[in-house]
Copies of this chain bind each other. A is one copy, B any other.
């Protein structure tokens, strides 16, 4: 061992101890006759002192040669510091060094290893191993470990068994694209990397494992959006002989446990909201309920007047912005510009100022009188001093637009406090979702989700109205988990796949093994998966999942540190029975 103590360990009680420390040189302050060095490791920083009177000359010289990030080992005596540093736990002591060994030198790092670094994202990713030395990144990784340990402890104590499912499986184009892996031994054939262990966890239920979980990597070959990773981690869970209520109870328990153990926050029973209500009240299936600003639908009170924009709209809907009546014309114009940005896509915005004197001033005073506007205020819950923002148009679109505005305003108003945790369940998701481009319905959750009892019959007549035993767990405006009760009989699964456009042949080729399994005594079962990266980042009070991943990829799916992906040898390709077929050159 290169050390007797870590750099986070020594206290006044250790004064006069002879110790050996090792770590990185964080900082050197050289006053000529006296040199201080901050020595850093994962556990903290300890100050070393070298001085002309007490330190041998050659060691003084050596100390003067130290650069940032040099790796050194020192032996010395713990002494009490003259000027104590209350900001660090070792701040009452320092080490009078009697022996110094340079274990490894360092080039000058390309950015400072400080909490607030001068390095930009790109350079920090390229030198991620240096970035990890910084407290914010290091602490996030340790935090992630703490969360996964608590998850495992909790589920294990609840009788769940962690079972490893295979990574080399079969390509089943059920949503996103699969990453595939050519098989050398099986010519012309490919494995796929799992988008999730979905079918395997269901087979484990058929196999009687009863309660399964796994913290597991999943893979999706998607065109990456910001903060999406081609490989991500799930807390994947499944239970047999349960109903939806049991799943909600156990995973609410897990989430509450994490909030308590990790964040020291006690949360009451999680509210539940129907999917339809979430869409109606927040325009969104993952509402942030740390603040109000619920939607007020205004069709009844705003249509059938002379304002054509509203009359022709499928939905007229508004929110009340607390204390927004004081916004200047310029500020409101900026808001209007904001909702008209292509990313939001509204055509315009109607607003109503709710004056302190109980009167209203709107951008559509030409069409509406004070009584009309009073009704709008009532529907949106606006009080004196508030501003009502109203959008109109096609229901789905206008909901998405107003939801974006609601979140933006909340952000600006400081209503999204990362220390406040507001979980809720969204239940009764639709089974199917219409793809507006193709006109086809596809599974909103996945093809194994069970429709609500008695609704299977609606699949032909009103596919969009069939509700599923599907649920999401939402935390602070983010979906952190989702799941469903599964289909567990072959016939229903066949009907479902047929409705999703699978030919019987394709269904058999891709999911035959699962449907076969359903014929040998499949129990009722269901489950849930948490997105671990997202969960950890929210518990950590941050927004960016990349900050909680040791070696993330960039938005082109590249690891810029190791420079992957990369070309491979022709020999390797030949062994795999493959040829490149490049479109560009």
Given A71-B522, A191-B565: A186 and B557 interface contact (C-beta under 8 Å): yes
| Secondary structure type dominating chain A contacts | loop
Interface residues in A530-570 by Cβ distance below 8 A to B read 549-551, 553, 556-559, 561-569
Which chain B residues lie closer than 8 Å to A223 at the CB level? 185
Which chain B residues lie closer than 8 Å to A169 at the CB level? 559, 562, 564
Interface residues in A141-197 by Cβ distance below 8 A to B read 141-142, 144-145, 148-149, 152, 156, 161-171, 173, 177-193
The docked-state distance in angstroms from the alpha carbon of A189 to that of B568 is: 7
Chain-B contact segment, one of A103-111, A276-284, A397-405: A103-111
Q: Quick one: CB contact mask for A6-25 with B, threshold 8 Å, 1 for yes?
A: 00000000000000001110
The docked-state distance in angstroms from the alpha carbon of A129 to that of B207 is: 4
Contact yes or no, B489 A519, CB < 8 A: no
The docked-state distance in angstroms from the alpha carbon of A61 to that of B23 is: 77
Question: Which of the residues B164, B211, B559 comes within 8 Å of A217, measured between beta carbons?
Answer: B164
Contact yes or no, B568 A180, CB < 8 A: yes
Contact yes or no, B565 A189, CB < 8 A: yes
How many copies of this chain does one complex carry? Answer: 2
Contact yes or no, A170 B565, CB < 8 A: yes
The docked-state distance in angstroms from the alpha carbon of A489 to that of B105 is: 9
Chain-B contact segment, one of A114-122, A351-359, A576-584: A576-584
Chain-B contact segment, one of A241-249, A377-385, A444-452: A241-249
The docked-state distance in angstroms from the alpha carbon of A41 to that of B169 is: 28
- Does A27 belong to the interface (CB within 8 Å)? no
Contact yes or no, B243 A1, CB < 8 A: yes
Which chain B residues lie closer than 8 Å to A105 at the CB level? 521
Question: Which of the residues B142, B242, B559, B572 comes within 8 Å of A2, measured between beta carbons?
Answer: B242
Contact yes or no, B171 A568, CB < 8 A: yes
Chain A interface residue count, CB cutoff 8 Å, equals 128
Q: Which of A129, A200, A558 has the most CB of B within 10 A?
A: A129
- Does A208 belong to the interface (CB within 8 Å)? yes
Which chain B residues lie closer than 8 Å to A568 at the CB level? 171, 180, 190, 192
Contact yes or no, A209 B519, CB < 8 A: no
| Chain B proximity of A534: nearest CB distance (Å) | 14
Chain-B contact segment, one of A130-138, A254-262, A493-501: A130-138
Given A221-B184, A241-B1: A520 and B170 interface contact (C-beta under 8 Å): no
Q: Quick one: CB contact mask for A95-106 with B, threshold 8 Å, 1 for yes?
A: 000000001111
- Which chain B residue lies CB-closest to A557? B185
- Does A230 belong to the interface (CB within 8 Å)? yes
- Does A327 belong to the interface (CB within 8 Å)? no
Contact yes or no, B521 A207, CB < 8 A: no
Contact yes or no, A187 B583, CB < 8 A: yes
Contact yes or no, B177 A567, CB < 8 A: no
- Does A127 belong to the interface (CB within 8 Å)? yes
- Does A70 belong to the interface (CB within 8 Å)? yes
Q: Which of A233, A574, A579 has the most CB of B within 10 A?
A: A579
| Chain B proximity of A309: nearest CB distance (Å) | 42
- Does A374 belong to the interface (CB within 8 Å)? no
Contact yes or no, B104 A523, CB < 8 A: yes
Question: Which of the residues B107, B138, B574, B582 comes within 8 Å of A577, measured between beta carbons?
Answer: B582
Which chain B residues lie closer than 8 Å to A211 at the CB level? 42
| Chain B proximity of A584: nearest CB distance (Å) | 6
The docked-state distance in angstroms from the alpha carbon of A217 to that of B167 is: 8
Given A152-B149, A181-B180, A520-B129: A168 and B566 interface contact (C-beta under 8 Å): no
Q: Quick one: CB contact mask for A206-234 with B, threshold 8 Å, 1 for yes?
A: 11111100000101010110000011010
- Does A128 belong to the interface (CB within 8 Å)? yes
Question: Which of the residues B128, B206, B557, B577 comes within 8 Å of A129, measured between beta carbons?
Answer: B206
Binding site for B on A (CB under 8 A): 1-3, 22-24, 40-43, 69-71, 103-107, 109, 127-133, 138, 141-142, 144-145, 148-149, 152, 156, 161-171, 173, 177-193, 199-200, 203-204, 206-211, 217, 219, 221, 223-224, 230-231, 233, 241-243, 245-246, 488-489, 513, 517-524, 549-551, 553, 556-559, 561-569, 572-584
10 pairs of residues in contact across A and B, judged by CB atoms under 8 Å: A42-B210, A109-B520, A166-B551, A168-B564, A180-B576, A181-B181, A181-B193, A182-B182, A578-B580, A578-B581
Starting from the known contacts A203-B561, A204-B550, A577-B580, 12 additional A-B residue pairs (CB-CB under 8 Å) come to A41-B210, A104-B489, A145-B163, A148-B162, A163-B550, A169-B562, A173-B569, A180-B568, A181-B193, A185-B221, A189-B566, A200-B550
